[in-house]
Amino acid sequence: MFFEGSEKRVEVFVSPSTAPLRLLGNKFWADVVASANAEIISTMSNDFCDAYLLSESCLFVWDDRFLMLTCGTTTLVDAVILFTEKLGRATIASASYQRKSEYLSHLQTSCFTNDVLRLRKSLAGAAYRIGHLDTHHHYIFTADSIQSGGVIQSNRELMMYHIKGAIADYLRSDKQSCQGIRDILALERVFANFTFDDHLFDPCGYSINGLCGDKYMTIHITPQEESSYVSIETNANFKCCPFSALLNKLQPQSWDVIGFNGTITTDDFPPYRLVASCALPLNGKDRVQFNQYQQLTSEVLLPERL
Amino acid sequence: MFFEGSEKRVEVFVSPSTAPLRLLGNKFWADVVASANAEIISTMSNDFCDAYLLSESCLFVWDDRFLMLTCGTTTLVDAVILFTEKLGRATIASASYQRKSEYLSHLQTSCFTNDVLRLRKSLAGAAYRIGHLDTHHHYIFTADSIQSGGVIQSNRELMMYHIKGAIADYLRSDKQSCQGIRDILALERVFANFTFDDHLFDPCGYSINGLCGDKYMTIHITPQEESSYVSIETNANFKCCPFSALLNKLQPQSWDVIGFNGTITTDDFPPYRLVASCALPLNGKDRVQFNQYQQLTSEVLLPERL
């Protein structure tokens, strides 16, 4: 029942002179997705963005950039390399490639260090690890800018580990449905005015993309006991933080927040301890913030019989 | 400079009718050690025990049992299998095989699950993971008893992660020496009446075995920044806990204590948070306790450039 929910993530901006990425068409993006060993299972669009649900996470394509997350044992670095080959290095204004700590990294087909070796054949750039190897950590590669433009938007990612309680139980049950999950997580209330596209995997697991103008949100749920993981990413700004709503519902044992170019607010978070934090300037334009949180209560561990 | 300090550990008791293990001789034990891809670099003995310093950790041989720890990318499971083949399954009264979480598990040649698959070809037994996969965790396999006797002694292991301060700096410096480390850690005072055998590795790293009657101690230091790890194990009972002395000197960011068949005392520990704990009964005779601790202060992370 093990599934590696942790996503690899890439965001690429193209130079202003590049033809709109959305005009590249479904076939182009299907090839990019396939190169990472994933496939497109659903698509929705608005005036700004084409949003794809993937067999492993998601892809958002705007005219000037794309954002792709893939989980499991996918090889997202292959998609970055294929895109760079197809459009040419000169079109790329900025690019960031990230990996998070994985539950079972030895099951992956590549490690971040090897991914960066391959990326650097076409993209010069800086690579970092934030956080210790024996706990949550985050790898980030950012290509050196050779084009103007392409500043990463302000966005936030929340990664939740070891969810528990009634809603976690529901997400592991055979009673769940897409609408049931939207309701129990109050997604249509928290993300009012968003249009959604979601998918329930068999036997469990849930992905949802949402669009509202130029704002996006995406949530991916890997509910399996012993390796549960839920992520949300959005560039929407809210008066009420959607992260605190999810934290209170899903009661994770620990969680991390990664933010690009903005501050991280913890209003209405459940009681927590800030274990560690880091503010890292990138490429002179962007800044990434990494905060690692834990529940305050000491946990009584249940051994897993192997 | 990366080195995986985390040790695999095996303890095997033989049945009372088995010839004393110490009579098997140096060649026998050198073969056992070599099968795990390690080698003997030094030996000392007293009336009870032969203690071997290894290129990767240590081996202690008593007449009725042996204890072996190996770090790096050694394959300790091969040593267990070789020993079982040479002496025969029927001689084994009890056996426990353990692995800890590793900094870079994808660099290992095997995972615990595969090790257990191999062990179970000759030794039936129960296997557990204690602790979450995204933080410190501990794997333990215990063979089902087919012989009487062989109760694991009361012992304690302390694993320290991310040491810092003046003594950590000394352990990374080119000024260190065996006697210098004994002095700075006050080992000859804390372990009064013990006889020691120690070795300084190049360019850094330190191992020491100690014997005092039927009591043993062993310390292994991997001081490398970004992946520092120091372990101590002993079956000695002290009024003043040697663990607190080391914790206060080495100031680790986090530490775990594993204890077999006894209570874990935290007297004089530096201020800490108990993150998680577990008491696990084994095979009807033994009990293992796993406690995971963290410093109280929130850490400002320094990104590592890759």
Model pLDDT, residue B284? 73
What's the rounded mean pLDDT across residues A258-262? 88
Closest alpha carbon to A4 in A115, A106, A104, A110: A104
What lies within 8 Å, CB to CB, of B287 at 6+ separation is: B260, B261, B279, B280, B281
Q: Which one of A73, A110, A275 would you mutate to disrupt binding with B, by most B Cβ within 10 Å of its Cβ?
A: A275
Model pLDDT, residue A204? 93
For A64-83, the pLDDT digits (tens) are 999 999 999 999 999 999 99
DSSP element (H, E) containing B237: none
Q: Is the pLDDT reported for residue B89 higher than 70?
A: yes
Model pLDDT, residue A284? 73
> Are B134 and A302 within 8 A, CB to CB?
no
Contacts of A134 in chain B (CB under 8 A): 101, 103, 135-136, 161, 254
Distance (Å) from the alpha carbon of A45 to chain B's nearest alpha carbon: 36
Distance (Å) from the alpha carbon of B133 to chain A's nearest alpha carbon: 5
Model pLDDT, residue A240? 61
Neighbours of B201 (CB within 10 A): 15
For B110-151, the pLDDT digits (tens) are 999 999 999 999 999 999 999 999 999 999 999 987 666 556
- DSSP line for A29-52: HHHHHHHTT--EEEEEE-SSEEEE
Contacts of B301 in chain A (CB under 8 A): 130-132, 276-278, 290
For B14-73, the pLDDT digits (tens) are 999 999 999 999 999 999 999 999 999 999 999 999 999 999 999 999 999 999 999 999
Distance (Å) from the alpha carbon of B272 to chain A's nearest alpha carbon: 12
How far is the C-alpha of A57 from the C-alpha of A49, rounded, in Å?
17
How far is the C-alpha of A297 from the C-alpha of A303, rounded, in Å?
18
Q: Which one of A107, A108, A133, A290 would you mutate to disrupt binding with B, by most B Cβ within 10 Å of its Cβ?
A: A133
For B162-201, the pLDDT digits (tens) are 999 999 999 999 999 999 999 999 999 999 999 999 999 9
Q: Which one of B108, B132, B254, B297 would you mutate to disrupt binding with A, by most A Cβ within 10 Å of its Cβ?
A: B132
What's the rounded mean pLDDT across residues B245-257? 96
**pLDDT confidence of A232, banded at 50, 70, 90?**
very high
Joined together, the tokens standing for residue B296 give 């109280």
> Are B135 and A133 within 8 A, CB to CB?
no
Neighbours of B94 (CB within 10 A): 26
Distance (Å) from the alpha carbon of A28 to chain B's nearest alpha carbon: 32
Q: How many CA atoms lie within 13 A of A287 on its CB side?
A: 8
> Are A305 and B126 within 8 A, CB to CB?
yes
- Mean pLDDT score of chain A: 93
| CATH, range A8-295 | 3.60.90.10
What's the rounded mean pLDDT across residues A147-166? 83
Contacts of A252 in chain B (CB under 8 A): none
**pLDDT confidence of B154, banded at 50, 70, 90?**
confident
Contacts of B162 in chain A (CB under 8 A): 132
- Mean pLDDT score of chain B: 93
Angle at Cα A81 formed by Cα A75 and Cα A83, nearest 5°? Answer: 110
**pLDDT confidence of A138, banded at 50, 70, 90?**
very high
How far is the C-alpha of B74 from the C-alpha of A187, rounded, in Å?
49
For B254-296, the pLDDT digits (tens) are 999 999 887 888 889 999 999 999 999 987 778 899 999 999 9
Among A162, A278, A304, the residue with its CB nearest the CB of B300 is A278
Place of tokens 């290992």: B108
Model pLDDT, residue A151? 62
> Are A277 and B300 within 8 A, CB to CB?
yes
What's the rounded mean pLDDT across residues A2-23? 95
**pLDDT confidence of A241, banded at 50, 70, 90?**
confident
Contacts of A135 in chain B (CB under 8 A): 134-136, 254
What lies within 8 Å, CB to CB, of B106 at 6+ separation is: A105, A106, A108, A111
What's the rounded mean pLDDT across residues B87-116? 94
Q: Are B74 and B8 in contact (CB under 8 A)?
A: yes
Among B112, B277, B299, the residue with its CB nearest the CB of A276 is B299
Contacts of B254 in chain A (CB under 8 A): 134-135
**pLDDT confidence of A239, banded at 50, 70, 90?**
low
pTM: 0.93
How far is the C-alpha of B283 from the C-alpha of B273, rounded, in Å?
31
> Are A133 and B275 within 8 A, CB to CB?
no
Model pLDDT, residue B126? 94
Model pLDDT, residue B158? 96
Contacts of B126 in chain A (CB under 8 A): 305
For A24-59, the pLDDT digits (tens) are 999 999 999 999 999 999 999 999 999 999 999 999
Distance (Å) from the alpha carbon of B118 to chain A's nearest alpha carbon: 14
In A, minimum Cα distance to B102 occurs at A134
Contacts of B131 in chain A (CB under 8 A): 301
What's the rounded mean pLDDT across residues A168-185? 97
How far is the C-alpha of A116 from the C-alpha of A98, rounded, in Å?
10
Contacts of A299 in chain B (CB under 8 A): 275-277
**ipTM of the complex, rounded to two decimals:** 0.91
How far is the C-alpha of B173 from the C-alpha of A261, rounded, in Å?
39
Among A106, A135, A227, the residue with its CB nearest the CB of B135 is A135
Distance (Å) from the alpha carbon of A161 to chain B's nearest alpha carbon: 8
> Are B104 and A300 within 8 A, CB to CB?
no
> Are A134 and B136 within 8 A, CB to CB?
yes
Query: Across chain A, which distance is largest between two alpha carbons, in Å?
Result: 57
> Are A306 and B106 within 8 A, CB to CB?
no
Contacts of A2 in chain B (CB under 8 A): none
Burial class (CB in 10 A: 0-12, 13-18, 19+), B124: exposed
Contacts of B127 in chain A (CB under 8 A): 305-306
> Are B133 and A104 within 8 A, CB to CB?
yes
> Where exactly are the structural domains of chain A?
8-295
How far is the C-alpha of A31 from the C-alpha of A86, rounded, in Å?
11
Q: Is the pLDDT reported for residue A198 higher than 90?
A: yes
Model pLDDT, residue B78? 97
Name all contacts of B191-194 with Cβ < 8 Å and 24+ positions apart. B191/B217, B191/B236, B191/B242
Among A130, A226, A299, the residue with its CB nearest the CB of B276 is A299
> Are B130 and A106 within 8 A, CB to CB?
no
What lies within 8 Å, CB to CB, of A101 at 6+ separation is: A6, A131, A133, A135, A136, A137, A138, B134
Place of tokens 């990326």: A119
Model pLDDT, residue A149? 58
